[in-house]
C-alpha cells in the first residue's frame, strides 16, 4: 500500500511539474519559467520611443488571449498596431487596454498624456467593459503580487518610477519570495530576454533600475473564451507524466 501511494505521489509530482510548479517560494505565472512561456514586445525606437506602456499592454493582451483576430495574435503584432494610431508620448497600460477593447482613450485631450491621432479603430471588444477584467494596486506589496495577481493568473504590468518623476512599465512573469527577486521583460531591452531584479521592502529595485521603485501593479484577466495552445515542452512533460502513471498502474495490476 505504501509503495502504491509513493507511486501516485511521484506521478502527481510529474504532472504538477509540467504545469509550472516551482517550489514553495518561487511563483511563476501558469506555463511560464525562466526559459519559456513569457513574451517580450520591444520598441523599434522610431515612432514608439515612449510607448513602453503600450508594449507592456501588448504582452498582457497576447498572453491573456485578448487578440485582435488574424494577424493580431502575438505580442509583437499587437504592439505594432499602436504607433499608427497614437502619438509617441507617455501613457498607461490601462488606457492601452481600454482602446484595444473599446476604441476610446479616457485621457484624450488631457495634456501630458499620449493622444490618439487616428480614431478609426472602434475596438475589438466594444460590447465588453474592460474594467471588469482590469485590476490595479498602488504601491508595492509582495503578498498582493502573489495572491492577487500571480495566483489568480493575471497578466501583470508594473510601473516603476524615480524621485524625479520619470516612469516606465515592465511586464512581470515571476517572483521569488525567498530571494525577493522579480522576473520581468522590458520593452527597452532590444532583445527577447527575461531579466531579474531584487526588490527591497519598499519596492526599490537593484541593478540597472537601482534608482527606481515599484509604484503600481496592474493585472489583466484572461479572456474566458480563449483556449491557449500549450507549449510543446509542456505537452511533452504532461505526456511523460501520464505515461508514468499508466505504466505504474499496469505494473501494479500485473503483480
Residue recorded with cell 518623476: 165
pLDDT of res. 227 = 73
245 in the same domain as 155: no
Q: Report whether pLDDT(16) > 90.
A: no
| Same domain as 181, residue 58 | yes
**Domain with 148 in it: what CATH number?**
3.90.70
Tell whether 61 and 166 lie within a shared domain.
yes
The verdict on 104 and 121 lying in the same domain is yes
Report percent pLDDT > 90 for the chain: 79
Domain that holds residue 249: 1-24+231-255
161 plus 199 within the same structural domain: yes
Contact 147, 217 (CB under 8 A): no
* Pair (111, 8) in one structural domain: no
Grid coordinates belonging to 77: 503584432
Residue 168 lies in a domain: yes
Provide the domain count of the chain. 2
The reply to whether 198 falls in a domain is yes
pTM: 0.83
Of 187, 165, 161, 166, the C-alpha closest to 82 is 187
32 domain residue, yes or no: no
**Model pLDDT, residue 2:** 47
Residue 74 domain flag? yes
Query: Nine-digit cell at 41?
Result: 514586445
Amino acid at each position: 500500500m505504501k509503495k502504491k501511494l509513493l507511486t501516485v505521489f511521484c506521478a502527481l509530482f510529474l504532472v504538477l511539474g509540467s504545469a509550472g510548479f516551482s517550489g514553495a517560494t518561487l511563483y511563476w505565472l501558469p506555463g511560464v519559467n525562466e526559459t519559456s512561456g513569457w513574451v517580450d514586445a520591444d520598441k523599434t525606437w522610431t515612432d514608439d520611443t515612449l510607448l513602453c506602456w503600450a508594449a507592456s499592454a501588448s504582452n498582457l493582451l497576447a498572453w491573456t488571449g485578448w487578440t485582435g483576430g488574424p494577424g493580431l495574435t502575438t505580442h509583437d503584432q499587437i504592439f505594432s498596431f499602436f504607433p499608427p494610431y497614437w502619438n509617441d508620448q507617455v501613457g498607461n497600460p490601462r488606457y492601452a487596454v481600454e482602446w484595444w477593447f473599446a476604441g476610446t482613450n479616457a485621457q484624450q485631450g488631457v495634456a501630458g498624456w499620449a493622444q490618439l491621432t487616428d480614431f478609426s479603430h472602434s475596438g475589438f471588444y466594444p460590447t465588453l467593459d474592460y474594467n471588469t477584467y482590469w485590476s490595479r494596486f498602488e504601491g508595492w506589496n509582495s503578498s498582493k503580487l502573489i495572491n492577487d495577481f500571480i495566483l489568480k493568473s493575471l497578466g501583470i504590468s508594473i510601473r516603476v518610477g524615480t524621485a524625479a518623476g520619470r516612469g516606465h512599465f515592465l511586464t512581470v512573469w515571476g517572483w521569488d519570495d525567498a530571494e525577493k527577486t522579480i522576473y520581468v521583460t522590458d520593452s527597452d531591452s532590444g532583445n527577447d530576454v527575461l531579466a531579474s531584479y531584487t526588490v527591497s521592502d519598499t519596492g526599490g529595485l537593484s541593478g540597472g533600475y537601482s534608482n527606481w521603485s515599484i509604484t503600481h501593479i496592474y493585472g489583466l484577466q484572461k479572456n474566458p473564451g480563449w483556449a491557449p495552445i500549450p507549449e510543446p515542452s509542456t505537452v511533452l512533460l504532461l505526456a511523460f507524466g501520464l505515461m508514468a502513471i499508466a505504466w505504474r498502474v499496469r505494473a501494479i495490476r500485473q503483480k
